[in-house]
Structure 1
């Protein structure tokens, strides 16, 4: 699973919020590939401790992979997010930033044919969503 979380801060509470969102949508992962951010490590360690204390000690803890090559592959798949967030400095609100990123994500899903509508071009599928 590859996901992103837009937050005004890049700290432990933001990392925890992202993990909670990802786990709610996809279930508990066995491994997580992250960059060198200390907030990500802290959030995953905190989650592992919380799992163990709440009685899930029978499950294996979430393993952290900090393999630069794997992280680069993950980062490349969402390069456009970084490009858009650089532009986000001009956005006046988080609502505007989210709307732009959601639209771009839908466009990417259409181009990669993750949303399948037979007999329509990518533009026709995108236009059908807009109207």
Structure 2
């Protein structure tokens, strides 16, 4: 359960504000006005702090409670602008389009790919195959992960499949993330970008019905928060 101790607003108000911002194309200033019309006076800077503080915590709970995934994955990265510079959002979905894991990185290389694959395996188990594009770094990352698995005595070897056609699933899935981040016009810091993107990914996982929870999108978000 996520603690809201010390907050000057009730938990439902905070969660409503965070979920609304993560799920829909509104700016923080727009959200400030929307809340004010409903009698909740809170400035956009406070709203931003809520998003950055609580989104990663909800994402941790989401990874614990998501449904099991298929053993065939699709992996790719998309571009996110931070401080006027392009960074890389590594993402993986299974063959059915269910979100597995995600990681924002300042670099796009073998080290970053290996870290992402290790993170994804820790949260989602070991797949039989991972479909990627022609990226040499991603292929090298899978090789490094296979070496680690072998070192720990794991009998499974992950097969690398290079297919533009099969990877259309995740390329299409990027659209939902880009649709939400586009109105933000870039992030001011890497840490705030990473935290916000984690929350956006959770909102999309809720849209995909990955938790087996009942109720509205917000009700599921609140349930993840505990």
**In the TM superposition, what are the counterparts of 1:1-131 in structure 2 within 5 Å?**
1=69, 2=93, 3-52=101-150, 54=151, 56=153, 59-82=155-178, 90-118=186-214, 120-123=215-218, 125-126=220-221
Number of residue pairs matched by the alignment: 128
Change (3 A) 1:85 1:10: farther
TM-score by length of 1: 0.74
2:103–2:194 contact (8 Å) kept in structure 1: no
Query: d(CA) in 1 for partners of 2:146 and 2:129?
Result: 12
Q: Which runs of 5+ in 1 are unaligned?
A: none
Change (3 A) 1:69 1:106: same
RMSD of the TM alignment (CA)?
Answer: 3.1
Higher relative contact order (CA 8 A, sep 6+): 2
The structure that is helix-richer by fraction is 1
* Structure 1 position 33, deviation (Å): 0.8
* Structure 1 position 60, deviation (Å): 4.5
TM-score by length of 2: 0.47
1:32–1:63 contact (8 Å) kept in structure 2: yes
Q: Which runs of 5+ in 2 are unaligned?
A: 1-68, 70-92, 94-100
Query: d(CA) in 1 for partners of 2:152 and 2:213?
Result: 45
1:32–1:64 contact (8 Å) kept in structure 2: yes
* Structure 1 position 4, deviation (Å): 2.5
Query: d(CA) in 1 for partners of 2:183 and 2:110?
Result: 24
* Structure 1 position 128, deviation (Å): 7.2
